[in-house]
Structure formats: structure tokens, C-alpha cells
Amino acid sequence: MTRFFQFLTCFVLTCSTAFAQQATEADVGKAMDALNAAILSADAQKLNAITGAQLSYGHSNGRIETKAEFVSSLVERRSVFVKIEITKQKIDLMGNTAIVRNHLSGDTNSGGKPGHVELDIMYVFRLEGGDWKLIGRQAYKL
């Protein structure tokens, strides 16, 4: 009988750990959705809410932006996304940090010039005050 309870305890702990991790990965996925929605809307409040204070935002051309530069570039319409499609998303959790890798296919219209990008991107999120905040991003062209 003791072995049965040991097995049951182990099983419950394993299942609850797996469920907790799935829920957290789902939360990171929601943060990614919120980030993409904020980028499309160019809403300063939403962009500031989803990004950490020390954001390092790397573009596929090698340019690096701070949080303030990233937000102002979108809000002032110097960088404009009109469509974002995400595929091949993978989320890896390490405590209060998450690394997200995905493929972005997007349409742009920066400076009135329509364009299309195909990028693979790595994002780094950190759990801050119960919310996932983007603290790092690096894109590269395919």
C-alpha cells in the first residue's frame, strides 16, 4: 500500500508540474500575441506594457534599439507593419525567463514604401511582477 501512495504522489507531482509548465508556456504565447498586436497597432501604451525597461531590440540589418527607440519608431510610423504572420513558434522556459523562436512573414509600409519580410526571430521574455516582458529580440533575414 505504501508503494501505491508513493507512486500516486509521484504521478500527481509530475502531472501538476507538466500542467504548470504548459500554462506558463501558454502565458508566454499570449505575451507574443500581445507584442505582435501592439506592433501592428503602434499603440505606445501597449508597447510599453509588453516590454521591459532594459529592452535590447535587434533588427535583421544589425541595428539595435532601446525600448524608447523601439516604441518611438513604431508610434511615429518610421517602422510600419501592416501584416504579421507567425509560424514555427517554439517556447523554452528557464524559471522566470523564456526564449521564443519563430518565423515571421510580414508586410511593411515604412516611409510609404510597401515591402515584405521573411525573418527568423529569437525573443527573450522575463517574468516581471507577474507579467511576461520582452527584454531582448534579434531577427535575421532568410
Beta pairing partners, 124:
99, 136
Q: What is the pLDDT of residue 4?
A: 43
The domain 2-141 is classified under which CATH number: 3.10.450.50, 1.10.3720.10, 3.40.190.80, 1.10.20.10?
A: 3.10.450.50
The answer to whether the CB of 139 falls within 8 A of the CB of 84 is: no
Q: What is the mean pLDDT of each run of 10 residues along the chain (142 residues)?
A: 48 44 82 98 98 97 97 95 98 96 96 94 96 97 87
The dihedral sign for the CA sequence 27, 60, 85, 42: positive
Q: What is the pLDDT of residue 3?
A: 52
Provide the residue ranges of all domains of the chain, joining segments of one domain with +. 2-141
Taking CA 54 as the corner, what is the angle to CA 99 and CA 120, rounded to the nearest 5 degrees? 35
Q: What is the pLDDT of residue 1?
A: 54
